[in-house]
């Protein structure tokens, strides 16, 4: 697990992101992604969370979702997973349903509409008025019973607004809640090679990712699956070495600052493995950008070294060289 200071830094980053979205306009990514793949991934997260509480989960994805769009899939998924977490958290029994749909918008764009409905505790009208205030929850009783900093929904609403959409809620006490998140997206521009020919498709890779931060795993999974790769996650350096020793991976993405056996030592041990397992490409990922840290990573046997937040484009280039 990360240190308390690192978790505090992550929380501070979340607050800054929310403030930017409200005050000066969040700078969003505009990269191609599949709305269906994103909805599938959030649905899988919902199923896992609901299963842990023995709740029923349902996922309904409209058949007319566009195949590819351009937008900020990372923040979109983070917002939706926040809503899924809340729905499961405030539901003691029953069902949580995720629905993904699309509506036409102006200038050739689409409006993606996601609804998360639960059969949980619900809220009164007065409670709902408090929801989108910073550091506030629906009521003091709910805050005491369920905990939380009261940051999630204001963050999600500001992200929706920055994406040209909105977050709304309908609810009744004891009858559950339904949150509706919308975001505008544009058609994905066709990627072409420099000579004007259609770019060559990248081979799907089997990847291992060592990351002990849950949010970091969400981000990496979103990037890697949208690039067309499959990924297994482990949470420690020891587990990374054990998994790599069994072979079958095209590359290993290694968080440098893992607790216990850190990413540098884990990479050294992977390099000491016999045969192809010891020759696997290792991509280092770290929050430290100093030249000395990069040099240490390369000396440990890493082939690439990227500083967080990882650029999806640079990661795609590195993985394309693996799959070439």
CATH number, residue 73: 3.30.565.10
Residues 173 and 45 placed together within one structural domain of the fold = yes
Integer angstrom CA distances of residue 168 from 93, 143, 157, 229: 23, 21, 8, 34
Residues 40 and 120 placed together within one structural domain of the fold = yes
Q: What CATH number did the domain enclosing 286 receive?
A: 3.40.50.2300
Domain membership of residue 30 (yes or no) is yes
Residues 173 and 211 placed together within one structural domain of the fold = no
pLDDT in tens, the chain (324 residues): 444 444 334 434 444 444 444 434 567 878 888 899 889 888 988 998 888 889 999 999 999 998 889 998 888 988 898 899 889 988 988 999 999 999 999 988 999 999 999 998 887 777 766 666 654 444 445 444 434 433 467 878 888 999 999 999 998 888 889 999 999 999 886 444 344 333 445 578 999 999 988 767 877 887 887 788 899 999 999 999 999 999 999 999 999 999 889 999 999 999 999 999 999 999 999 988 888 899 999 999 999 999 887 777 788 888 988 866
Domain membership of residue 281 (yes or no) is yes
134 within 8 A of 151, measured Cβ to Cβ: yes
| Number of structural domains found in the chain | 2
Residues 152 and 229 placed together within one structural domain of the fold = no
Domain that holds residue 56: 25-187
Domain membership of residue 63 (yes or no) is yes
Residue 216 is predicted with a pLDDT of 76
Residue 152 is predicted with a pLDDT of 63
Residue 266 is predicted with a pLDDT of 96
Residue 130 is predicted with a pLDDT of 67
Residues 183 and 214 placed together within one structural domain of the fold = no
């Amino acid at each position: 697990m990360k240190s308390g200071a690192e978790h505090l830094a992550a929380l501070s980053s979340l607050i800054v992101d929310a403030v930017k979205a409200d005050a000066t306009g969040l700078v969003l990514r505009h990269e191609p992604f599949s709305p269906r793949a994103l909805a599938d991934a959030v649905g899988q997260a919902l199923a896992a969370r609901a299963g842990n509480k023995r709740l029923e989960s349902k996922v309904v994805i409209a058949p007319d979702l566009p195949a590819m769009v351009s937008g900020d899939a990372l923040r979109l998924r983070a917002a939706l997973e926040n809503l899924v977490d809340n729905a499961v958290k405030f539901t003691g029994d029953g069902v949580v349903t995720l629905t993904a749909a699309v509506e036409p918008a102006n200038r050739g764009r689409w409006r993606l509409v996601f609804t998360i409905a639960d059969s949980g505790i619900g809220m009164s009208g007065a409670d709902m008025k408090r929801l989108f205030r910073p550091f506030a929850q629906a009521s003091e009783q709910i805050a005491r019973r369920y905990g939380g900093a009261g940051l999630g929904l204001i963050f999600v609403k500001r992200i929706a607004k920055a994406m040209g959409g909105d977050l709304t809620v309908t609810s009744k006490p004891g009858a559950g809640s339904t949150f509706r998140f919308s975001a505008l997206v544009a058609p994905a521009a066709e990627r072409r090679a420099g000579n004007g020919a259609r770019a060559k498709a990248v081979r799907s890779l089997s990847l291992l990712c060592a990351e002990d931060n849950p949010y970091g795993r969400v981000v990496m999974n979103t990037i890697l699956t949208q690039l067309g790769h499959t990924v297994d996650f482990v949470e420690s350096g020891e587990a990374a070495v054990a998994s790599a020793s069994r072979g079958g991976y095209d590359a290993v993405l290694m968080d440098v600052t893992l607790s216990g056996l850190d990413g540098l030592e884990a990479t050294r041990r992977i390099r000491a493995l016999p045969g192809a397992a010891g020759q696997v490409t290792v991509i280092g990922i770290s929050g430290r950008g100093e030249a000395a840290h990069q040099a240490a990573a390369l000396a440990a046997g890493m082939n690439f070294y990227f500083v967080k937040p990882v650029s999806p484009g640079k990661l795609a280039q590195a993985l394309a060289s693996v799959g070439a």
